[in-house]
Amino acid sequence: MPANSSSDSSILEQLSAYGHKKLVYCNDPDSGLKAIIAIHDTTLGPALGGTRMWSYATEGEALEDALRLSRGMTYKSAITGLNLGGGKGVIIGDSRKDKTETLMRSYGRFIKNLNGEFITAEEMGTNTRDMEFIRMETNYVTGVPESIGGAGNPAPFTAQGVYLGIKASVKEVFGTDMLAGRTIVVQGIGNVGEHLVALLRKENAEVLISDINQEQLTYVARKYKAKPIEADKIFGIDADVYAPCAMGATVNNKTIERMKFAIIAGSANNQLKDEVLDSELLMKKGILFAPDYLINAGGLISCYSELTGFGKKRTVQLTENIYEATRNVIKLSKAEQIPTNIAVNRIAEKRIADIKKIKSTY
Ligand code: NAD
């Protein structure tokens, strides 16, 4: 939800503000499950979106995350050319301490009750094993392990798309998409971030990394010869690219003021705290923003392939399109003098509106 939405407004008002269809609160005291599923739009198909498990400070924060993330999924599917709507699940809790088989299976039963209107996958704080538990209760889950017929962890495809989005942006700013010698800061080196670091280092980019998980930071720094930096030092660093791969809203008026990056391109959903104001600030400062839901769609493509039976070859092909799609969005943004996130929204909204029209034919 954009920052200007008021948490004082009623839940129905919050749903109406950005066209959300449905909200499901899941409460199971026996397993300790407290979750929210948000369904934004199903014009293009069933609402697909990962399930995030996070220690939200308040219920309101969890709701806001679910609403913002589900809307992003509608746009992500639309721009990627997939026949899926947008949804998202959030489970309130610490994934390292509170996650159990019963909790995930209980959550699976809530998904089952939605009869296919919502299909989930892994997200921050959840993994393929969790999807396997959900699968024990419902078929409306993707990203299950390959050993039981799924496409496995979608994160490598997400990382591949982000890598291509970075290359397309680097081409725009520096005239070549070669990454050797470019300095790239990756914030968050979990599932996606670690795969991204591997791809960047393979091309000899200089990679700086930060994570609140010290163990992971040390491990990734050693394995890929990346340079660890303190989390609060990120925004003053002189680097070519900032790749946010942790939480959203890290791009805001306070951080933009300190930024010396030429490009922002990462996997984190909803990187801009305020979609309108922050994108204008970035434009004024001459920082190129590769819209998050455009370049982080690789994982969604992998989930879609699992659902439709496309297979890995098609997943790779569709993920590779992200390079050209990013170039096209940058072109439109320059031609119309509008921020890249507004340009990509326009293309996504047009596809949804066009498909809505053909659905009037029985
Ligand atoms: P993850 O939980 O595996 O990794 C996130 C990492 O970020 C963790 O290592 C965590 O310790 C770190 N982190 C959290 N807060 C931080 C902070 N303030 N500073 C530095 N590090 C911090 O999650 P993931 O699956 O890698 O996803 C990362 C981001 O990409 C999320 O925003 C997610 O929504 C988005 N995304 C993921 C996928 C996917 O396929 N997994 C697809 C699309 C978008």
CA distances to 90, 233, 257, 259 from 287, rounded to whole Å, are 32, 19, 11, 9
Give the residue-averaged pLDDT of 250-255.
Answer: 97
Residue at 359 is within a domain: no
**Residue 11 lies in domain:** 3-70+85-148
Q: Are residues 218 and 102 in the same domain?
A: no
Q: What is the pLDDT of residue 362?
A: 82
Task: Note whether 117 and 159 are same-domain residues.
Answer: no
Provide, rounded to the nearest whole percent, the portion of the chain with pLDDT above 70.
Answer: 98
How does residue 61 score in pLDDT terms, banded at 50, 70 and 90? Answer: very high
3-state secondary structure of 285: helix
For residue range 124-179, list pLDDT tens digits in order. 999 999 999 999 999 999 999 999 889 989 999 999 999 999 999 999 999 999 99
88 catalytic residue (yes or no): yes
The separation between CA 229 and the C-alpha centre of its own chain, rounded to angstroms, equals 23
> Residue 8's pLDDT is what?
67
Average predicted confidence (pLDDT) for the chain: 95
Model confidence pLDDT, tens digit, residues 325-349: 999 999 999 999 999 999 999 999 9
Both 308 and 273 in one domain: the answer is: yes
| Residue 310 in this model has a pLDDT that exceeds 90 | no
Domain containing 103 — which CATH number? 3.40.50.10860
Question: Which residue has the least CA distance to atom 27 on ligand 1?
Answer: 124
- Which of 76, 88, 167, 273 does the annotation list as catalytic? 88
Strands 288-289 and 263-264: parallel
* Model pLDDT, residue 167: 98
Work out the angle between the directed axes of helices 340-358 and 275-285 (0-180°, nearest 10).
Answer: 140
CA dist., res. 260 & res. 263, Å (int): 9
From the CA of 362, how far away is ligand 1's center (Å)? 42
Q: Is residue 323 domain-resident?
A: yes
Return the ligand 1 atom nearest residue 95 CA: 2
Cα separation, 354 vs 359, whole angstroms: 9
Output the pLDDT for position 7. 55
79 found inside a domain: no
- Do the domain assignments include residue 260? yes
Flag whether 361 is in a domain: no
Q: Report CA(117)–ligand 1 centroid distance (Å).
A: 26
What's the rounded Cα separation, in Å, for the pair 135 and 167? 36
250 Cα nearest atom in ligand 1: 18
On whether both 216 and 260 belong to a single domain, the answer is yes
Check pLDDT > 80 for residue 210. yes
Placement of tokens 């996504």 in the chain:
348
CA distance 194 to 207: 11
* Residues 191, 102 share a domain: no
pLDDT of residue 361: 85
- For residue 286, pLDDT beyond 70: yes
Ligand 1 site: residues with CB under 6 angstroms?
Answer: 123-125, 154-155, 158, 187-193, 210-213, 216, 231, 245-247, 267-269, 296, 299
pLDDT of 2 strictly over 50:
no
Distance CA 345, CA 12 (A): 24
Candidates 94, 120, 157, 158: which one to mutate for ligand 1, based on the most atoms within 8 Å of Cβ?
158
Q: At what angle do helices 155-174 and 191-202 cross, to 10 degrees?
A: 50
Ligand 1 atom nearest to 210, measured from its CA: 20
Would you place residue 321 in the very low, low, confident or very high pLDDT band (cuts 50, 70, 90)? very high
> Which of 96, 119, 148 represents a domain boundary (last residue)?
148
Pocket probe mutation, ligand 1, options 192, 195, 213, 214, max atoms within 8 Å of Cβ: 192
Residue 77 has pLDDT above 60, yes or no: yes
* Protein residue with its CA nearest to atom 31 in ligand 1: 268
For the chain, what percent of residues have pLDDT higher than 90? 92
CA distance 269 to 65: 10
For residues 213-227, average pLDDT: 97
For the full predicted model, state whether its pTM sits above 0.75.
Answer: yes
